[in-house]
A and B are shown apart, each in its own frame.
Chain A
Amino acid sequence: MTTLALSSAALNPAALASDWPGNFWLHWAVFSVLILAFVLGVVIIFVWLERRFMARMQARIGPNRTGPFGLLQSLADALKLMLKEDIVPDSADHALHWLAPIIALVPVLSVFVVIPFADGAALADLNIGILYVIAIGSVASMGIITAGWASNNKYSLLGAMRDIAAIVSYEIPLAMAVLGVVIIAGSLSLSAIVDAQSSVPLIFFQPLGFLLFFIAACAEINRSPFDLLEADSELTAGFHTEYSGMKFALFFLAEYGESLVVSAVVATIFLGGWRGPVLPPWLWFLGKVFAVFLFMVWVRTTMPRVRIDQLMALAWKFLFPLALINLLVTAIEVLIWPNGLPWPVIFLNIAIFLAVIPIFSRLFKLGWGRVEVPALR
Chain B
Amino acid sequence: MTLRTEPFVINFGPFHPSSHGVFRIRFTLDGEVVVDAEPVFGYLHRGIEKLAEERTYTGVIPLTDRLDYISSMNNNLGYVLAVEKLAGITVPERAQYLRVILAELQRVAAHLISVGAFINECGAFFTPFLYMFREREKIVDLLEMVSGQRLLYNFMRVGGFNQDIPEEFLPAARKIIAKLPAHIDEYDRLLMENEVLLARTKGVGILPKETAISIGAAGPVLRGCGVNWDIRKADPYCVYDRMQFDIPTGTVGDCYDRYRVRVEEMRQSVRIVKQALEALPGGPVKAANVPQILRPPVGEAYARIEAPKGELGFYLVSDGGIAPYRCHIRAPSLINLSALRDMVIGWKLQDAVVTFGSIDITMGEVDR
Are the CB atoms of A306 and B36 closer together than 8 Å?
no
Binds A, one of B47-55, B75-83, B199-207, B305-313: B199-207
CB contacts (< 8 Å) of B353 on chain A: these are: 233-234
Known: A60-B130, A234-B353. A373 touches B33 (CB 8 A): yes
* Least CB separation from A307: chain B residue: B350
Q: Chain B nearest CB: distance from A144 CB in Å?
A: 17
Known: A303-B196, A310-B199, A376-B36. A233 touches B130 (CB 8 A): no
Is the CB of A301 closer than 8 A to any CB of chain B?
yes
Are the CB atoms of B348 and A236 closer together than 8 Å?
no
Are the CB atoms of B127 and A308 closer together than 8 Å?
no
CB contacts (< 8 Å) of B8 on chain A: these are: 154
Is the CB of A300 closer than 8 A to any CB of chain B?
yes
Is the CB of A86 closer than 8 A to any CB of chain B?
no
CB contacts (< 8 Å) of A225 on chain B: these are: 123, 196
- The residue in B36, B120, B350 that gathers the most chain A C-beta atoms within 10 A of its C-beta is B350
Known: A303-B124, A373-B33. A158 touches B10 (CB 8 A): yes
Interface readout for B2-44 with A: 1 if CB under 8 Å, 0 if not?
Answer: 0000011011000011100000000011111111100000000
Q: How far is the CA of A158 from the CA of B349 in the complex (A)?
A: 10
Are the CB atoms of B123 and A305 closer together than 8 Å?
yes
Interface residues of B in 330-368 (CB under 8 A from A): 345-351, 353, 357
CB contacts (< 8 Å) of A234 on chain B: these are: 18, 349-350, 353
Interface readout for A23-54 with B: 1 if CB under 8 Å, 0 if not?
Answer: 00000000000000000000000000000001
Q: How far is the CA of A97 from the CA of B10 in the complex (A)?
A: 21
Is the CB of B177 closer than 8 A to any CB of chain A?
no
Chain A binding site: helix, strand, loop or mixed by DSSP?
loop
Are the CB atoms of A373 and B125 closer together than 8 Å?
no
Interface residues of A in 299-356 (CB under 8 A from B): 300-310
- The residue in B30, B120, B200, B204 that gathers the most chain A C-beta atoms within 10 A of its C-beta is B200
CB contacts (< 8 Å) of B45 on chain A: these are: none
Q: How far is the CA of A155 from the CA of B28 in the complex (A)?
A: 13
Size category of the A interface is 35 or more
Chain B binding site: helix, strand, loop or mixed by DSSP?
mixed
Known: A155-B10, A225-B196, A376-B28. A305 touches B127 (CB 8 A): no
Is the CB of B187 closer than 8 A to any CB of chain A?
no
CB contacts (< 8 Å) of A307 on chain B: these are: 199-200, 348, 350-351
Is the CB of B121 closer than 8 A to any CB of chain A?
yes
Known: A233-B123, A304-B124, A307-B199. A371 touches B16 (CB 8 A): no
Are the CB atoms of B200 and A236 closer together than 8 Å?
no
Q: How far is the CA of A24 from the CA of B91 in the complex (A)?
A: 91
Interface readout for A286-310 with B: 1 if CB under 8 Å, 0 if not?
Answer: 0000000000000011111111111
Is the CB of A362 closer than 8 A to any CB of chain B?
no
Are the CB atoms of B17 and A302 closer together than 8 Å?
no
Interface readout for A211-230 with B: 1 if CB under 8 Å, 0 if not?
Answer: 00000000000001101100
Are the CB atoms of B125 and A54 closer together than 8 Å?
yes
Are the CB atoms of A304 and B122 closer together than 8 Å?
yes
Q: How far is the CA of A295 from the CA of B284 in the complex (A)?
A: 58
Known: A57-B127, A369-B203. A304 touches B197 (CB 8 A): yes
CB contacts (< 8 Å) of A65 on chain B: these are: none
Is the CB of A89 closer than 8 A to any CB of chain B?
no
Q: How far is the CA of A370 from the CA of B121 in the complex (A)?
A: 19
Is the CB of A232 closer than 8 A to any CB of chain B?
yes
CB contacts (< 8 Å) of B199 on chain A: these are: 306-307, 310, 366-367
CB contacts (< 8 Å) of B119 on chain A: these are: 304
Are the CB atoms of A58 and B348 closer together than 8 Å?
no
Is the CB of A372 closer than 8 A to any CB of chain B?
yes
Q: How far is the CA of A263 from the CA of B330 in the complex (A)?
A: 54
Is the CB of A136 closer than 8 A to any CB of chain B?
no
* Least CB separation from B350: chain A residue: A307
Q: Chain A nearest CB: distance from B124 CB in Å?
A: 4
* Least CB separation from B32: chain A residue: A308
Are the CB atoms of B28 and A301 closer together than 8 Å?
no
Q: How far is the CA of A376 from the CA of B9 in the complex (A)?
A: 12
Q: How far is the CA of A367 from the CA of B204 in the complex (A)?
A: 12
Are the CB atoms of B30 and A373 closer together than 8 Å?
yes
Are the CB atoms of A231 and B35 closer together than 8 Å?
no
Q: How far is the CA of A219 from the CA of B69 in the complex (A)?
A: 39
Q: How far is the CA of A308 from the CA of B31 in the complex (A)?
A: 11
Interface residues of B in 102-141 (CB under 8 A from A): 119-127, 130-131, 134
* Least CB separation from A303: chain B residue: B196
Q: Chain B nearest CB: distance from A6 CB in Å?
A: 32
CB contacts (< 8 Å) of A304 on chain B: these are: 119, 122-124, 194, 196-197, 200
* Least CB separation from B119: chain A residue: A304
Q: How far is the CA of A131 from the CA of B357 in the complex (A)?
A: 43
Is the CB of A84 closer than 8 A to any CB of chain B?
no
* Least CB separation from B129: chain A residue: A58
CB contacts (< 8 Å) of A310 on chain B: these are: 199-200
Known: A58-B127, A155-B10, A233-B17. A305 touches B28 (CB 8 A): no
Residues of B within 8 A of A (CB): 7-8, 10-11, 16-18, 28-36, 119-127, 130-131, 134, 190, 194, 196-197, 199-200, 203-204, 345-351, 353, 357
Q: A234-B18, A236-B17, A304-B123 are in contact. List 15 more A-B contacts (CB 8 A).
A: A58-B130, A154-B11, A155-B10, A158-B10, A158-B32, A233-B353, A302-B194, A303-B194, A303-B196, A304-B119, A305-B350, A306-B196, A306-B199, A369-B204, A377-B36
Residues of A within 8 A of B (CB): 54, 57-60, 154-155, 158, 161-162, 224-225, 227-228, 231-234, 236, 300-310, 366-367, 369-374, 376-377
A–B pairs, 7, beta carbons within 8 Å:
A59-B134, A154-B11, A233-B17, A233-B18, A233-B353, A306-B200, A370-B347
Name the 7 nearest CB pairs between A and B, nearest first: A305-B123, A304-B122, A304-B124, A370-B346, A58-B130, A304-B123, A233-B18
